């Protein structure tokens, strides 16, 4: 009896945390989404979300998230594969991870200089006779910086699943006469698909909700769901509409997690999604 009490006692702060900071915030977001600017109960926010403005915004947000995830995957998969072939792979992996520990803002800020009108990229283009072009504040710079930021998060889960792959399976496939491509598409990829899914999950959801990079790099030209939420909450102070967008963002997140969900436990990445 006594032990039982102690066990519950351990859990009190933790339970308080769950109620206050996990359940209550979601509840509050849902609750606020039913109120307009003057505090009246209304469904208008939801009707508003289905007007062309917000539907377009959602679509473009998904399109950018798709592009970012796609390029990240295309770059990260070979990198992860080659990393597993190196001799000190854990060390190399650590070197890949270190940039992800540098403050996100600083990395983004660096690109303001690199892509700037007098930055090195423009200087390089000048050598080839291409005049100074505005790279900053374009879709390209936005996608590039986002891919740059997310690459480590895609490499990590893929690396882990490739690392677990039994190399004798690849050898067996080769011995049985499969070409490199067949080996890859029929053996390696299916066996590492969980890592890919975990990586997509770790990149796609944060891509939908980016707002700092859109402001600094895309110069407000790209608006994602995250930017819209930030704007509603902090600029126009329309918490109701902001909450409604947040509700939809949560719904999208759940759908993506179900699609990319995996049955075997332990393979999920626990990388933080920002």
Partner 1 sequence: MEKTSKSAKLYLALVFIVLYTPILYLIFYSFNSGGNMSNFESFTLEHYAAVFSDTRLIMILLNTVIVALLSALIATIIGVFGSIGIVFMRNKSLRRSILSLNNVLIVSPDVVIGASFLILFTAIGVKLGFASVLISHIAFSIPIVVLMVLPKLQDMNSTLIDAAADLGATRRDILTRVIIPFVKPGIFAGFFMALTYSLDDFAVTFFVTGNGFSTLSVEIYSMARTGITLTINALSGIIFIVTLLLVVGYYFVSLRGKNPVGMGVRK
225-244 binders of partner 1 (CB under 8 A): 225-226, 229-230, 233-234, 239, 242-243
- Nearest distance from residue 50's CB to partner 1, in Å? 20
Asked if residue 224 lies in contact with residue 58, where contact means CB atoms within 8 angstroms, the answer is no
* Span 207-226, contacts to partner 1 by CB under 8 A: 208-209, 211-212, 215-216, 225-226
Mutual orientation of helices 24-32 and 239-259 as an angle, nearest 10°?
A: 120
Using the contact rule CB under 8 A, the part of the chain among 37-45, 65-73, 129-137, 151-159 near partner 1 is 151-159
Residues linked to residue 35 through DSSP beta bridges, in sequence order: 41
Of 97 and 191, CB closest to partner 1: 97
Give the list of residues 6+ apart from residue 78 with CB closer than 8 angstroms, or none.
none
Q: How far is the CB of 192 from partner 1 (least distance, A)?
A: 15
Q: How far apart, in whole angstroms, are the C-alpha atoms of residue 228 and residue 242?
A: 7
Stretch that binds partner 1, among 54-62, 78-86, 166-174, 181-189 (CB under 8 A): 78-86
- Smallest distance from the beta carbon of 52 to partner 1, in angstroms? 23
Q: Which of 41, 118, 128, 181 binds partner 1 (CB under 8 A)?
A: 118
Report the interhelical angle of 239-259 vs 189-208 (nearest 10°).
180
CB of 36 to partner 1, least distance (A): 15
Choose one: 43-51, 62-70, 105-113, 188-196; the region binding partner 1 (CB under 8 A): 105-113
From residue 3, how far is each of 9, 10, 12 by CA, in Å? 10, 11, 15
Q: Does 38 bind partner 1 (CB under 8 A)?
A: no
Residues 154-183 touching partner 1, rule: CB under 8 A, are 156, 159-160
Q: Does 59 bind partner 1 (CB under 8 A)?
A: no
Per rule CB under 8 A, is residue 54 in the interface with partner 1? Answer: no
The answer to whether 198 touches 270, Cβ cutoff 8 Å, is: no
Least separation in angstroms between CB 194 and partner 1 = 15
Give bridge partners of residue 41 from the DSSP assignment. Answer: 35
Q: Which residues contact 213 (CB under 8 A, 6 or more apart)?
A: 108, 142, 145, 146, 149
CB atoms within 10 A of CB 165: 16
Nearer to partner 1, 200 or 208 (CB): 208
Name the minimum Å distance from CB 105 to partner 1: 4
Please give the Cα distance from 108 to 138 (Å, whole number): 14
Q: How many residues touch partner 1 (CB under 8 A)? A: 95
């Amino acid at each position: 009896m006594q032990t039982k009490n102690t066990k519950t006692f351990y859990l009190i702060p933790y339970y308080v945390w769950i109620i206050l900071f996990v359940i209550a915030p979601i509840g509050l977001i849902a609750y606020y989404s039913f109120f307009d600017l003057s505090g009246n109960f209304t469904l208008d926010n939801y009707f508003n979300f289905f007007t062309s403005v917000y539907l377009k915004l959602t679509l473009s947000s998904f399109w950018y998230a798709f592009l970012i995830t796609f390029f990240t995957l295309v770059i990260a998969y070979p990198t992860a594969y080659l990393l597993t072939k190196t001799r000190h792979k854990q060390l190399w992996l650590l070197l890949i991870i270190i940039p992800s520990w540098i403050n996100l803002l600083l990395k983004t800020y660096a690109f303001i200089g690199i892509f700037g009108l007098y930055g090195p990229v423009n200087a390089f283009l000048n050598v080839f006779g291409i005049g100074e072009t505005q790279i900053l504040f374009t879709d390209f710079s936005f996608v590039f910086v986002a891919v740059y930021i997310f690459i480590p998060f895609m490499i990590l889960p893929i690396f882990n699943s490739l690392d677990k792959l039994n190399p004798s399976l690849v050898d067996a496939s080769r011995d049985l006469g499969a070409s490199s491509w067949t080996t890859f598409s029929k053996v390696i990829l299916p066996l590492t698909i969980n890592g890919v899914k975990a990586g997509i999950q770790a990149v796609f959801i944060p891509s939908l909700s980016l707002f700092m990079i859109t402001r600094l790099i895309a110069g407000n030209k790209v608006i994602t769901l995250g930017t819209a939420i930030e704007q509603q909450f902090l600029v126009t102070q329309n918490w109701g509409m902001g909450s409604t967008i947040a509700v939809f963002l949560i719904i999208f997140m759940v759908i993506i997690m179900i699609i990319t969900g995996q049955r075997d436990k332990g393979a999920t990445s626990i990388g933080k999604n920002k």
